[in-house]
Chains A and B, each alone.
Chain A
Amino acid sequence: MTLNQQRKLKTFLTGLFAWTVALVLFFPIFWMFITSFKTELQAISVPPSLFFEPTLDNFRIVQERSDYIHHAWNSVVTSFGSTIIALIIAIPAAYSMAFFPGKKTKDILLWMLSTKMLPAVGVLVPIYILCRDYGLLDSKTALVIIFTLMNLPIIVWMLFSYFKDLPKEILEAARMDGATPWDEVVKVVLPLSVGAISSTALLSIVLCWNEAFWSLNLTASDAAPLTAMIASYSSPEGLFWAKLSAASTLACAPIVIFGWFCQKQLVQGLTFGAVK
C-alpha cells in the first residue's frame, strides 16, 4: 500500500468511526421522531418496525388534549422574556467590569459564579412559599424572575469575557472625540459585540427552554412551559408511546433546530470563551 492509499484508508476509518458514534448518540432522538408518526400498535411492535405508513394523528391528539400551543407560548414568553431582562441588567455590569476593572472585579465575578453553585433545592421552600404568599404560583411572572436571576451570573461572565478582548484603543479614540459613556456603550461597544451578545442570548434561551426544576415545582397548568407539559405524560399515559413521542418531538424540535444553527457559538459561550 502506498503512503497515499494508507492516508485515504485512515481518513475513511476515521469517518466511519465518527459517523457510528454520532448515529448511536443520535439514535434515541431519531427513534422518538419516527415513533411520533406511528400508530400506538406499531409503536410497541416487537421487533421494532422501521417501515410503516406515517400518520399525523398523534400530533392532532396532543394539541387537542394538552393544548401544545398554549404551553409552547409559555416557553417562548418565559425564555425570551427572561433573556431580554437579564441582558439589559448584565450588559452595563459586564461593560464596567471589563473596561474599568477594580481590585474587587475578579472577586465579584467569582462570587457571581458561586451563586450558581447554590443548589436550587436549598431555596426551593422559601421561593415556593414566597410565590404562594404573593399569588405567583403557576404564573409566568415568577418563572421569568427566577430564570432571569438563574442565568444572570453566566450572562455577566460571558459578556465580560467578550468585552475584555475588545481593543481598548477604540474606546479611547471615541472618548477623545468627546463621546459620553452612554455613546461609548451604544455606538461603540454594542455594535462591536453583536455576535457575542447574540450567542449569549442563545445560550440563555436554551437553558431557560430546558429548565425543569422550577417549572415542575412552581407551575401546574396556566403557566406550565413545555418541560412541565411533557412531565404530565410520564405516567400512566406514558404507555401511549406514539402520542408521547409526538408531544416530545413538538417540545424539543424548536430548540434543537435552533441549536443546530448556533452550536458553535453555544459551545464557545458556555465555556466562557476559555476554549477557542
Chain B
Amino acid sequence: MKRSITRLLMAPSVIMLLVWMIIPLSMTIYFSTIRYNLLYPGQNNFVGWMNFEFFITDPGFIPAVSNTLILLLSVLIITVVLGVMLSALIDKPFFGQGIVRVLLISPFFIMPTVNALIWKNMMMNPVYGIFAWISESLGFEPIDWLSSYPLMSVIIMVSWQWLPFAILVFVTALQSQDTEQKEAAQMDGATGWHIFRYLTIPHLARPIAVVVMIETIFLLAVFAEIFVSTGGGPGYDSTNLAYLIYNQALLQYDVGVASAGGLFAVLLANIVAFFLIRAVGKNLTV
C-alpha cells in the first residue's frame, strides 16, 4: 500500500516526539554555554565550558553520580533477585491466590510522593514509627533511618514500589513454563535447586531483561521519593543527579549550570542504555 499513506499515519507521532526531543535539548545545550542566572537577568554572555566546570567541581557532583548508580544497581539487584526467588516459591496453586496477587501488586500503584511519606513517617520515624517499635520490642535501640542511612532508606522505598512489579512479571512468565519438562527432570532425579538453576532461570531470561530495561528507565529518574523524604540530605548523602540539577535550577536559579548538569544526565543515561542494550538486548526482539 501507498508508502505515502503509511508515512502520513506515522507522521504525527514521529514529529511530536522529534520536537519534544530536539527543541528542549537544543535549548539545554545553548543554555549550558551561556551565563544564565534567573536572579541576574540580562547578563547572558557566552562562557564556553565554564558551566560544565562548575557542575563537575560542585561538591555534590561525585556523590550525586555515585548515588544515582548505587540506587539503580541496588534496586535492580533487590527486585530481580528477590523477585525471582519469591515468584519461584509462590508459583504453585494455593489458597487465596487471587487475593495474594492483588495485595502483592498494590505498592506498584502507590504514587511516589505518598510512598515516601508513608515510609518516612509511619515506618521509619525513630520515635513513633513501626520499625522503632519493633526494634524496641526486641530490645534494640531504634534507628533514625533517614538521617543515619538516608540512601538506604530511599533504596527501601523504591524497591518496595518495584518489587511487586518484578514478582508479577515473573509469576506471569512462570505460568508458561513447561511442566512436563520439570516433571521429566524430577523423574531423572534432579533436585529442586537443579530445576530452579537449569530450567527456571533460563526460562526467565527474557522477562528479567524486560524488567531490567523498564526499571532502569524509571530508576535513573527517581525524584519525588528524595524530594519528599530526605531532601537529598543530610549533606549530599541521598542526592542523585536528578535532585542535584533540580537544586541548581529551581533553588539556586542557575539555569546555565543546571543545563550543563542536564546534559551530563543525558550522557549518563546513554552510557547506561548502551551497556543495558548490549547486556539485555539480545533477549529482546521487536
A contact residues vs B (CB 8 Å cutoff): 10-12, 14-15, 17-19, 21-23, 25-26, 28-29, 31-32, 35, 44-48, 89-90, 92-93, 95-97, 100, 102, 106, 108-110, 112, 114-130, 149, 152-153, 156, 181, 206, 209-210, 212-213, 216-217, 226-228, 230-231, 233-234, 238-239, 241, 244-245, 248, 251-252, 255-256, 258-260, 263-264, 267-268, 270-272, 274-276
Chain B residues 24-38 with CB under 8 Å of chain A are 24-25, 27-28, 31
Chain A residues with CB below 8 A from B137, complex form:
47
Q: Mark B180-211, 1 if CB is under 8 A from A, else 0.
A: 00000000000000000000000000110011
Chain A residues with CB below 8 A from B47, complex form:
none
Chain A residues with CB below 8 A from B104, complex form:
21-22, 25-26
- Say whether, besides A15-B96, A18-B89, A108-B14, A125 and B28 are in contact (CB < 8 Å): yes
How long is the Cα–Cα vector from A276 to B206 in the complex, in angstroms?
A: 11
The stretch that binds A, out of B52-60, B147-155, B262-270, is B262-270
Interchain CB contact under 8 A, B106 and A29? yes
* Number of chain B residues close to chain A: CB under 8 A: 101
Interchain CB contact under 8 A, A96 and B259? no
Q: Mark B120-148, 1 if CB is under 8 A from A, else 0.
A: 11110001101011000100000000000
Chain B residues with CB below 8 A from A95, complex form:
9
B contact residues vs A (CB 8 Å cutoff): 1, 3, 5-7, 9-10, 12-14, 16-17, 20-21, 23-25, 27-28, 31, 86, 89-90, 92-97, 99-114, 116-123, 127-128, 130, 132-133, 137, 160, 163-165, 168-169, 172-173, 176, 206-207, 210-211, 214, 217, 220-221, 223-224, 227-229, 241-242, 245-246, 249-250, 255, 258-259, 261-263, 265-266, 268-270, 273, 284, 286
Q: 10 A-B Cβ contacts within 8 A?
A: A18-B90, A47-B137, A112-B17, A119-B266, A123-B28, A127-B24, A233-B117, A244-B121, A259-B109, A274-B207
With A125-B262, A241-B128 already in contact, 20 other A-B pairs whose C-beta atoms are closer than 8 Å: A14-B92, A17-B90, A18-B90, A21-B90, A25-B104, A26-B103, A26-B107, A31-B122, A92-B10, A112-B13, A112-B17, A119-B265, A121-B221, A123-B262, A126-B259, A210-B110, A234-B120, A252-B109, A260-B102, A267-B169
